[in-house]
């Protein structure tokens, strides 16, 4: 399966607490809920189309516990409820005890081995939603195939950023659009290591 990450980020790269003020106040973060004012029908349709590609969800413990608490209580006709509850869930955690949001498999140990084995299996996509720490670790480990960003037109100035580690990735842009509310949606494929070059100067223009 391919590993696809979907993340909400600000213009300054913050991914923490997009959905509400109390979603993730860790580290003293007090500016949660920054994505919600820009959540429009066009993005909901796009997110639904992406979820149609999923054969599983790959989550960190904290996001898994929040999703396991909330999604079973979200009633139809929410466009995501049925699929979020029915899809196989894979949780990367060495500390998670009970995993009752079925079907769930807990992946313990080194992610290069555990997630690598999942990636080598059959299927279309296993998708990471939220789980910013896990997403950063997967990027650092070179395990990601597709990166989907919904960039909100806001600068937060504090909070945990998506990419802070030692990732060395080249990305190929395969899709882009804007929504009426101002979200910029960017879809990338990972294309090896980040290319580097020296600027040779501008050649004189010929007439």
Higher pLDDT, 53 or 167: 53
What phi and psi, each to the nearest 5 degrees, are found at residue 104? -130, 135
pLDDT at residue number 98: 82
The residue-averaged pLDDT of 155-182 equals 92
SS3 state of residue 90: strand
pLDDT at residue number 205: 62
Q: CB of 64 within 8 A of CB of 48?
A: no
User: Does position 173 have pLDDT exceeding 80, yes or no?
Assistant: yes
pLDDT at residue number 67: 92
The token duo for 94 is: 């060495």
User: Does position 207 have pLDDT exceeding 70, yes or no?
Assistant: no
User: Does position 86 have pLDDT exceeding 70, yes or no?
Assistant: yes
pLDDT bucket at 132, cuts 50 / 70 / 90: confident
């Amino acid at each position: 399966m391919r590993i696809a990450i979907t993340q909400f980020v600000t213009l300054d790269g913050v991914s923490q607490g997009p959905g509400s003020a109390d979603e993730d106040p860790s580290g003293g973060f007090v500016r949660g809920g920054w994505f919600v004012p820009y959540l429009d029908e066009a993005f909901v349709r796009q997110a639904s189309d992406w979820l149609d590609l999923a054969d599983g969800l790959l989550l960190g413990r904290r996001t898994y516990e929040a999703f396991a608490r909330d999604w079973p209580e979200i009633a139809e006709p929410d466009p995501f409820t049925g699929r979020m509850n029915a899809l196989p869930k894979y949780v990367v955690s060495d500390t998670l005890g009970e995993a009752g949001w079925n079907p769930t498999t807990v992946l313990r140990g080194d992610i290069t081995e555990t997630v690598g084995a999942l990636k080598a299996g059959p299927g279309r996509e296993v998708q990471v939603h939220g789980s910013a720490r896990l997403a950063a670790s997967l990027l650092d480990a070179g395990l990601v195939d597709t990166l989907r960003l919904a960039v909100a037109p806001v600068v937060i100035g504090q909070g945990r950023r998506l990419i802070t580690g030692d990732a060395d990735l080249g990305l190929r842009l395969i899709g882009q659009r804007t929504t009426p509310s101002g979200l910029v949606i960017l879809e990338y494929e990972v294309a090896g290591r980040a290319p580097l070059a020296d600027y040779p100067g501008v050649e004189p223009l010929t007439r």
